Amino acid sequence: MYNSKAIILPNFMSDIKPIVIANWKMKLGLQEAKSLASDIKNKVTAQIEVAVCPSFISLTEVGKIFSGSNIKLGGQDCFWEANGAFTGEVSAKELKEVGCEFVILGHSERRKYLGETDEMVHKKVSQALAAGLMPIICVGETFEQRQQGAKDYVLIQQTTKALEGLEINASQQVIIAYEPVWVIGSGQAIDPNEAAAAHQVIYQSLFDLFPSDIVKNNFRIVYGGSVDETNVSDFTNLDKTSGVLVGGASLNINDFLAIIKNV
């Protein structure tokens, strides 16, 4: 097991407010989404950054409920072209128009079930940035890749291919979500020290791609994968970890409030 204390890291992220991102996936109907959004708006008081990513259909209504609050809105995907004859797709610009600030890209469920490649993710990141959205780029190894000792390779590849050749200017922000695929939805998060080591690998890839001041000021790394109220602070207390991406435990108001409280 890795020992994060053995890694000497510049502690440049200590004063950044943590972010909690809720990924509702395709788990709520419109009425359920509206009801949970109202609960979140009425009950979340903590001074941390909270972003909620409902399904496309629910975005507009949930956005209306959050208006006037500090809760931010994100999409779960966008298309890789700005506009055109792409039946069934949703553009980054449309997400922006309905009030999104964020968009999750390259989630492992999309890579697995929809054949999303690193190249597609790259083009989506480019569109998201052009539309003024903050991409939340998901990277992470499968169990098989982990067993083959390919974890770091996968993280470097996915991070690099998503971002290489793009220019990130001082007004743009990017979040990388490290999500070990094999623990998503399992109820068992990974050892926080292992997440810390993965985050360091991701940071190294970023330093290889961008000027160090851009990496320090414009990138954040969050952990995702079976985050709940009992383990969330183990991750948010790590050096170089700016928050969490929460799936299952964001669907119940009490669980979600407890996560926010424990950050």
In the complex, the residues that contact ligand PGA under the rule CB under 6 A are 23, 179, 184-185, 224-227, 245-249
Is the Cβ–Cβ distance between 80 and 89 less than 8 Å? Answer: no
Question: How many angstroms from the chain centroid is the CA of residue 73?
Answer: 12
Comparing C-alpha atoms, which of 4, 8, 6, 62 is closest to residue 33? Answer: 62
Q: Which is nearer to ligand PGA, 110 or 210 (CB)?
A: 110
Is the Cβ–Cβ distance between 104 and 76 less than 8 Å? Answer: yes
Q: Which is nearer to ligand PGA, 92 or 184 (CB)?
A: 184
Under DSSP, is residue 245 helix (H, G, I), strand (E, B) or coil? strand
Nearest approach, Cβ of 247 to ligand PGA (angstroms)?
2
Nearest approach, Cβ of 216 to ligand PGA (angstroms)?
25
Distance CA 134, CA 128 (A): 7
Distance CA 74, CA 98 (A): 10
Q: How many CB atoms lie within 10 A of CB 169?
A: 8
What residue number has its CB nearest to ligand PGA?
A: 247
Nearest approach, Cβ of 256 to ligand PGA (angstroms)?
11
Nearest approach, Cβ of 228 to ligand PGA (angstroms)?
8
Q: H or E element: which one contains 195? A: helix 192-209
- Tell me the β-bridge partners of 23: 53
Distance CA 173, CA 188 (A): 30
Distance CA 74, CA 51 (A): 7
List residues with catalytic annotation.
Answer: 107, 179
Distance CA 18, CA 224 (A): 14
Nearest approach, Cβ of 250 to ligand PGA (angstroms)?
7
Q: Which is nearer to ligand PGA, 75 or 248 (CB)?
A: 248
DSSP state of 191: P
Q: Which is nearer to ligand PGA, 145 or 226 (CB)?
A: 226
Q: Which is nearer to ligand PGA, 67 or 186 (CB)?
A: 186
